[in-house]
């Protein structure tokens, strides 16, 4: 199993030049996808106008398949506002564009899991486009067209603040513990914590109330619950 450090290092060379908000979103996306069992790698980030024009030529004046409809200056990549991702396979080297893959075996395609997390972070997905679907592509447009960006417009300070708060605030919500009360047959037994869908309860309080015996084995770090 890949560590989060191995996964993040894989993308590091392609994060230069990104807009700070997109960088924050991408870092969060790498972490959250990993937490769901889906390691990803960023395969493209900031692209100069010249690099964009070279890509545009592919499948038109140069051989290969058409990979973009955008000339230099017409892609959000040219302003550090877009990235492309792919799945990072368990060997930590190979990359997959298989949108049907379910590497963590949770009956959701890995691709959809990443896209779900991306959208929560405020990213737009190229797979939603109607004219030319680009399943690897994620961007933050801030309501600006590439023509406006080309003319020098940039997201406002307020837009940046709101986007960052969505990225960071979402994180707090996911990790927020909720204090709860455990009732046994209608009477309060003890307090517990609900953390991201899992309820944590002091095991001794609950087990003993149900007539079981609780012992702790410090050597094996094991709690034994025994019923008669
Ligand atoms: Zn892209």
Spatial CA neighbour of 19 closest among 75, 83, 87: 83
DSSP 3-state assignment of 126? helix
Question: What spacing in Å lies between the alpha carbon of 92 and ligand 1's midpoint?
Answer: 22
Q: Which residues are paired to 137 by β-bridges?
A: 84
Number of H helices, E strands in the chain: 7, 10
Nearest to 131 by CA among 80, 68, 78: 68
For residue 65, how far is its CA from the centre of ligand 1 (angstroms)?
Answer: 15
Residue 68 Cα to ligand 1 middle (Å): 8
User: How many A from CA of 173 to the centre of ligand 1?
Assistant: 29
Residue 54 pLDDT = 96
Alpha carbon distance 61, 71 (integer Å): 13
Distance 137 CA to ligand 1 centre (A): 4
Question: pLDDT in tens for each of the 228 residues of the chain?
Answer: 899 999 999 999 999 999 999 999 999 999 999 999 999 999 999 999 999 999 999 999 999 999 888 999 999 999 999 999 999 999 999 999 999 999 999 999 999 999 999 999 999 999 999 888 999 999 999 999 999 999 999 999 999 999 999 999 855 555 567 888 999 999 999 999 887 668 889 999 999 999 999 999 888 889 999 997
Cα distance between the two ends of the chain:
41
Q: Cα(77) to centroid of ligand 1, in Å?
A: 6
pLDDT of amino acid 196: 66
How many A from CA of 199 to the centre of ligand 1? 40
Report which of 54, 93, 88 is spatially closest to residue 71, judged by C-alpha positions.
54
- Provide the 10 A C-beta neighbour count for residue 16: 10
């Amino acid at each position: 199993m890949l560590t989060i450090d191995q996964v993040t290092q894989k993308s590091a060379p392609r994060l230069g030049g990104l807009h700070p908000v997109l960088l924050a979103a991408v870092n969060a996306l790498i972490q959250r996808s990993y937490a769901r069992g889906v390691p990803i790698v960023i395969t493209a980030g900031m692209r100069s106008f010249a690099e964009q024009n070279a890509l545009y030529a592919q499948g038109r004046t140069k051989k290969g398949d058409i990979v973009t409809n955008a000339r230099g200056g017409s892609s959000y990549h040219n302003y550090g506002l877009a990235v492309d991702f792919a799945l990072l396979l368990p060997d930590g080297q190979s990359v997959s564009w298989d949108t049907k893959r379910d590497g963590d075996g949770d009956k959701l395609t890995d691709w959809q899991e990443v896209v779900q997390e991306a959208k929560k972070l405020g990213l737009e997905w190229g797979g939603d486009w109607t004219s030319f679907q680009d399943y690897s592509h994620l961007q933050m447009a801030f309501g600006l067209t590439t023509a406006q960006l080309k003319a020098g417009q940039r997201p406002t300070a307020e837009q940046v603040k709101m986007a960052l708060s969505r990225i960071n605030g979402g994180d707090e919500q996911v990790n927020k513990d909720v204090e709860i009360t455990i009732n046994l047959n209608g009477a309060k037994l003890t307090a517990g914590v609900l953390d991201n869908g899992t309820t944590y309860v002091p095991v001794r309080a609950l087990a003993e109330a149900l007539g079981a015996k609780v012992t702790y084995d410090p050597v094996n770090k094991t709690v034994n619950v025994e019923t008669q």
